Amino acid sequence: MKVLAIESSCDETSVAVLEDGREVLSNVIATQINTHKKFGGVVPEVASRQHVEAINVVLKEAIDEAGVDLSEIDLVAATKGPGLIGALLVGLSAGKTIAMSMNKPFVGVNHIVGHVCANYISFKDLEPPFIGLIISGGHTYLIEVNDYVDFTLHGRTQDDAVGEAFDKVARSLGLEYPGGPIIDRLAKEGKDTIEFPRVMIKENNYDFSFSGLKTAVLNYLNSKRQKGEEIVKEDVCKSFEEAVVDVLIEKTFRLANEKNIDKIVLSGGVSANSRIREAFNERAKDEDKKIFYPELKLCTDNAAMIGSAGYYLYKAGKVDKENFANPNLGLD
């Protein structure tokens, strides 16, 4: 089954062609990072306009690269949420139009589920059940993946997503957008010398909170500036990153042990963080568990992961007839 997939939830316009949910024939991504960098973050109206400009160009490139004709497509999938409403409408409208014009089935995909499915592309033999940690700029979820389309939500952020905290801390340090990769790089040169809080790490639940950690970093920086003391950015990045890692690891492995599951799957943009990968691998060796995370190009927003999710939804017969854009779509 060949799936044409479209992703446009934020600032990447992406179109992909997949076969049977795991084999990528093309995965074209047009990013807007350089456009939004000067604003220090994504501007929704600008993002929507750039999606409109890019969608047809990216679509043609993906079809050409896959070496298929539109008539050979069996299923069309597109992200229906969560995301920026204007951005979502571009990809969703394009996908519905293509499906209707060719009389092909269409399935709207939850962007968060798409992140999980990115691992099916990177690991052809990976199958549920497993524990899933989804960490990105807008989402932090800890779930139990029972089957390809069956999830149990155990925890989520109560305020800032982990990637959002990375970007806000980076901005307070005067670093460019997106801040996550820069913090990751600077942290390698720093020392974990600042006592930042591990928020909710001992709570008897699987929820997260990163707003307090972010505030603690901001208060530390303001205090240093008011006193005229030197700020070692590398040490701030390292100490902040370690506080994030400790919480993510503690909650994820606690759930895995409670459910007696030996596979842990990371996904989302923040799963590209080198320290997070290193720390999870170290803990997994100690506890005899297996860690999976997508190759770097599949961590960020892309249409291949949407195509994989769409394939499994369609095979399971879970096709929502009312595929409206939902910017607040969640997993609960």
Q: What CA–CA distance (Å, rounded) separates 78 from 111?
A: 9
pTM for the predicted model, two decimal places? 0.95
Q: What CA–CA distance (Å, rounded) separates 140 from 266?
A: 11
Q: What CA–CA distance (Å, rounded) separates 211 from 290?
A: 30
Q: What CA–CA distance (Å, rounded) separates 46 from 32?
A: 9
Q: What CA–CA distance (Å, rounded) separates 111 from 24?
A: 18
User: In the β-sheet with 106-110, what is the strand arrangement from edge to edge?
Assistant: 23-31, 12-19, 2-7, 75-81, 106-110
Q: Identify the pLDDT of residue 76.
A: 97
Distances (CA, A) of 330 to 44, 289, 326: 20, 28, 9
Q: CB–CB of 278/292 below 8 Å?
A: no
Q: What is the pLDDT along the chain (332 residues), one digit of tens a residue?
A: 999 999 999 999 999 999 999 999 999 999 998 889 888 889 999 999 999 999 999 999 999 999 999 999 999 999 999 999 999 999 999 999 999 999 999 999 999 999 999 999 999 999 999 999 999 988 999 999 999 999 999 999 999 999 999 999 999 999 998 899 999 999 999 999 999 999 999 999 999 999 999 999 999 999 999 999 999 999 999 999 999 999 999 999 999 999 999 999 999 999 999 999 999 999 999 999 999 999 999 999 999 999 999 999 999 998 877 779 999 998 87
Q: Identify the pLDDT of residue 289.
A: 97
Contacts for 309 with CB less than 8 Å, ≥ 6 apart: 77, 109, 110, 113, 114, 116, 117
Q: CB–CB of 19/1 below 8 Å?
A: yes
Ordered domains of the chain (ranges, CATH) = 2-116+298-315 (3.30.420.40), 126-296 (3.30.420.40)
Q: What CA–CA distance (Å, rounded) separates 89 from 199?
A: 36
Q: Identify the pLDDT of residue 39.
A: 87
Q: Identify the pLDDT of residue 332.
A: 73
